[in-house]
Structures are given as C-alpha cells and as structure tokens.
Amino acid sequence: MIRGLKFVSIPVRDQDASLKFFTEKLGFKVATDQFFNEKQRWIELLIPGAETGLVLFTPEGHENRVGDFQPLSFWCDDVFATAKTMKSKGVEFEKEPKKESWGTSAIFKDVDGNKFVLSSK
C-alpha cells in the first residue's frame, strides 16, 4: 500500500537560480543533483525534519506550468514568524499572512514566480 509522498516536482526555468532560492532562502538541503538529460538535472531537495522531498524539474511539455500557482502547501508552526524570516532573506509575498477561522496562511513566490501557500499545521 502507499505509505506516503516521496517528493513533489516544481516546474522551474533556471535550475541553478531555483536551487539557490530553495537552499539559501528556504533552508532546504540537496539530496541529489545529477544530470537527467542534456537539458536538465534531477535536483532533489529535502526539507529539514520532513519526510517529503522537493524536485526542481520541469517535465517536457509542462513548461507552461512555470510561474503559476502550484498545487501544494508548505506548513510551519507560525506563519507570521516564518514569513518575517523569509522576507528578511528576500522572499516576495503575494499575500501577507492572515489569520482566518480555518487557520493562518500566506502566499509567497519563488524566483520563477511560482506561487506557494505557507500555512500553519
């Protein structure tokens, strides 16, 4: 049976710029960085303390997904504090942290304009 989610893929234009963003600004760690084909590398990242990884890879034919809202959400203990730390590292937020009846969330962008939800668990 399925035991979990191994990784999610984020479509990117520039793998080097994205790698720098996710490691330097968000604190992810490199698990794998190797050539996949003549156009791209397979870059798999780990989120410290999490089991699910992240891959900076755009499947052929999916280039139009780069720079769009991505259907995944990152969680943290305190959205306001995490957003403040991320902003101090130059991360741009499209939607500032806001507490709602269902929880607290914000939306941030990566270097390609991909948008992600940041929420409290």
The string of pLDDT tens digits covering residues 19-66 is 999 999 999 999 999 999 999 999 999 999 999 999 999 999 999 999
Which residue range(s) make up the domain with 30? Answer: 1-59
Distance CA 19, CA 111 (A): 10
Residue 3 — very low, low, confident or very high, per pLDDT cuts 50/70/90?
A: confident
Distance CA 49, CA 60 (A): 31
Whether residue 87 is predicted with pLDDT greater than 90 in this model: the reply is: yes
Distance CA 70, CA 66 (A): 9
One domain, residues 8 and 51: yes
Distance CA 90, CA 46 (A): 21
Residue 74 — very low, low, confident or very high, per pLDDT cuts 50/70/90?
A: very high
Q: In the predicted model, what is the mean pLDDT of residues 82-103?
A: 96
- Domain tally for the chain? 2
One domain, residues 3 and 30: yes
